[in-house]
Structure formats: structure tokens, C-alpha cells
Structure 1
Amino acid sequence: MKSSRVLPAYLLALIFLVSVIWPFVKEEPVPKPFLYDENGAVVDTTPYPPSSLYWLGTDREGRDLYYLLVIGAKWTMLFAFIVTAFRIILATFLGVWLKNWFTSLWVEGFLQAFTFVPQSLIAIIWLAPFLLYELRSAPSLTQPQSIFLQLFVLTIVGVPTTAKMVGETVRTIHAYDFMDSARVLGGSSYHRSRRHVFPHLLPRLIILSGRQLVQVLTLLLHLAIFHIFIGGTVITSGQEHDQFNVYSSSTYEWAGLIGSRYGELLLEPNIVLFPVMAYSFLILLVNKVVNDLEKSNKNP
């Protein structure tokens, strides 16, 4: 594989490593609601624009956007990778074990519904009662519990259609002539799966994993627009008497940075612009890796 093809994968690994290491290298800057000159006069207030002091500016609370993006990258990437891995593992097991089950008219009709009903809608219905709460009450779940629930829901909503694709691929492999030869020679079901099915299935699973990863990243962004963030949603009052609520992410994951501040698009675009650019770049890298894998699979 050429170096240009592995560059996106290296960049993804670099972003993740920097995000993990950065909090140990530099502490989070203390938010400053006002900036003063040498005479003690107020010269600016939050949100601050990009400058030598704040490379990407700050949000309205005075938090450094560059720092938030760096430390939030690992949560975005790790969560999406884990959900994708769980989806592929469960879908592979179901697709291999129940490959013929997916051909029944009842199952076909049931899975057809997942084609038209967005996964984000199903996830919102399941997650909102647990992760969104009234301002004056405490969240019903801790952060680890919220993450576990989100992992479970986001995995389950994607398994049926993914398992169907795996099952179709497995049935195609079983239709090859060498599978008939293996059966005639007395190969057991386990032997045929281990020696013939999985070697042909694995390259396709790798490509499918990349596509699922993009789908999960898109799903996280959809959920964030409805203020459902990785690790739970922190709800605080933005005005006296709780007239307005402020929703924020406890982990600073990138979809949460976008979903919690998309209302600033016409007021302070920088607050939303840089997280959107970072998220778009992440999806671009993943898509590039998937496309390179597809080309390598076609032209080994």
C-alpha cells in the first residue's frame, strides 16, 4: 500500500494520541470572563475571537475552544470506534448463524422498516428519557451509566441492517463452487466457516466497519442537535429564574460542542465553525481510509 493511502490512518492515530496525552501536558485554562489591559481596564469580554492567546477563540463561558477540541477528540473517536466494533461483532455472529433467517418475508419486512425510520429517531426515543432531565432535578444516570446506555442503544439500532448485509454476503460465499466441494469432501460447518467463509468475509467486514464508523459519527451529530451528548448532558440555567437552559457536554466530544452551540451560528460563528470543521475533517479521514481499503481489496 502506498504511503499516501496510509496517511489518513496515521492522522487518525495521531489525533487520538494527542488527545489522550494533552491533558497530562497542559492543564485546562481557567475561563476568564474579562480581559484587562496593563492599566486594569476591561478591553474585551467573552466570547473572545481567535488570537495569540486563544488560537481558536473561546465560547461564551470563556473556555478555550482549541483545548476543548483537543481533549474531546478521544471521546468522539473512541466511542464511535467501540460502537462500530460492537455492531460488526454482533452483526457477524447473527449474519453467519442466521443467514437464511434473513430471507423470510416477515424478517425482510421488519428490516425494511429500519430503512425508512432513521436510526437517530429510534435512539432519541430510547435515550431522551434517561439523559435529559428537568433543570431543578439531578440527572438520573451517572456518566459511566450514561456511556454504557448510549453504547448499548447505538449498537442495537444498527445491528439489524448490518446483520442483514453480512447474511447476504455469507449466502453469496456459500454459493461458490469451492463451498460445494468442501461439503462433498465432508467438511463440517465449523470447518467450512473457519477455512472458507471467514477468509472471504474478513476483507468485506473491514470495509463495512469503515462505513459503519461514518454512520455512527453522523448519528452522534444527529443526537447532539437534540442535546444528547456522549457521557450525558449537563443542563444549567442561562438566565435568572431558569428562563433558558444551557446544554453542554461533560466530555467535550465534538458532536456535543456542535450541538450545544449551533444557536450561535448567526451570533458568534467561530464558536460553531471550528468544531464543525474538525468533525468534517474526521469524517473525511475515515472516508478516505475506507475508499483506500476498497481500492486495495479490488487491486491487491
Structure 2
Amino acid sequence: MLECSDSSRNPLRSDFPYSFSEDGHLRHRVTSEPYRFTFRLDDVRGTDREHHSLCHYITQHVYELLERKFHLLKVHLEEDSFVFTSPGALDHPGSLLVLIQDWGTARSGVWSWKLSAHEGLERGSQIPYLRWAEQESCAVIIMNPNEGGETLEHHVHLVWERLVSRSSAEHVFVVAHGYGGLAFVDLLCHQLEEIQPQVKAVAFLDSSHSLWHQPLGKVGRDWLKSHSRTWILSTKPLNRSVGSLKAGCPQISAGTQCHDSVPAVCMESVFRFFTKTIKPKATPTPFEIITRSKSRTHDQNSNLV
């Protein structure tokens, strides 16, 4: 169950007419009606102000949940750049989950402000991913590429250099949504030898990357083919194979045609993929091939008895 934040810590609480309920849905403070974004063609500036207020409110609310509910720490990388990490994330010997969102207005902890506003935090935020990490005793690093004015590629490089590359984790899992996938492949293009030993699996969620237009090379493409999966928009049910000669890695249906919904819809499938990569392979059970001659001999012996 999601918790409401303390209103005294967020100055927008008294100005913004909506607030999140305990189950993570945005409701009007007085009428309890669900949030509805109104786009007014005759008032573009007013519409822009409402959009800005909504994004800022959701961002601050989720930031507060990250720190208070999940006890994540805000780690500053540059002047206006920061990420959230679990305490002792770099010294954690087990698994490390790295989340990279799409480009745009979404900040740390949020996949989509639209889904967060209209369908709730369980659909639009990264909180369900954090809950899984908590249950699996997995450390977390949540990137924040849309904060601070830097490019998404620069942010991903910076987080890898300052944090992930120094991690003691035995297994690093990466979830990359939209343009976040392109930025991660860009990182691979420059630091493939350093990344290969650390990253166990990559989940691309309706990713913008291209293994044919980004200079990854054959070694990098072969590595991704065996260490990644891509969930793409499709009319097929979730997890159905969606073949493509240019895919470069296994492609499966995301079970939705909505880009913003992919992280929520595919979440359980992503976790099963991660778990399978570190699960010990079963030792094949030896068996004897029964030939026709052996079978005939066995029948004769039975008749003698």
C-alpha cells in the first residue's frame, strides 16, 4: 500500500488541488474526483502552467516516497544532477537493479507522469520495481537523466563511471525504457569490455536503440543477443515471440500498444527473465536409449521367467 507524504514537507501541497490517496491515485482534495488534465487551445500558457504544476507535484511526491518509504539516498553527481540509490548500494555483494527511464519530463522514480496522474502510481511510477528489489534483497540505482539539463547519454555514462562501475554486485540488471535503451547501447559502444563482466541481463522496454545504426560491433551485438530481451509494442498477448531479422536480440510482445504502459505491463515478465539468468541450470538426467533388439531381449527374458 502506498503512503501519502507529509504535507509539511512539500510547499505545493497547499496550492495544488489534487493529492495522492493511500492506494496511489490522484484525487481532488475536496470532491475526491479523479484527476483530469484539461488542454485549452485558447489558453496555451495556462495549459503549460498546469502541466508544469502536475509534473512538479508528482515528482516531489515520488521523491518523498523514495526517501521515506524505501529509504533511498539522493546522490549528487554534478551541480544539478543526482540519482537515488539504496543505502550501501555499491558495497552490496548480491544483485543491483539499475532503472533508466525514457527522455522527456519524467524524473527519478517515474516512468510516465501521464499514467501516474490518470491510472495511479502502480502503473506510472517505478515503485513496483522497487518493491520487487526490496523483496529480493536487491540494491537499486535509479537514474535521473531528465534532471539537470544534460543529455541522457551523458547522464548514463556519468552514472556508470561514478557508481555502477564501482559496485561490488555479483549481478547487475538493467531496465531501460524508450530512449533509455538507446543511451545504454551508446554506453556499450564506448565501454563494452568494462560492462560485459558486470551486467548479467538487460531488459529493453519499447526501446529506441538500434544495433544496426549504433556502432556497437559484432562482439557487442553477440553479447546483447545472449544477455538481453526486448519487449515491443504489439497486438499479440504478452510474452509472445515477435520475430525480426534486424532485432539483434530476442523480441517478445509487450502485451500493449501504449508506450507509457510497457514498464507496468511487462514487469513480471522482466523479473522472470532476470531470475532465469542467475538460476543454476539443471543437470540433465542420464537415460538409456532402448533399441528394438534390447526390447526384444527383455521380452524374451520375461517370458523365460
TM-score bin (small chain): under 0.3
**TM-score normalised to structure 1 length:** 0.26
More helix as a share of residues: 1
More strand as a share of residues: 2
Q: Greater relative contact order (Cα 8 A, min sep 6): structure 1 or 2? A: 1
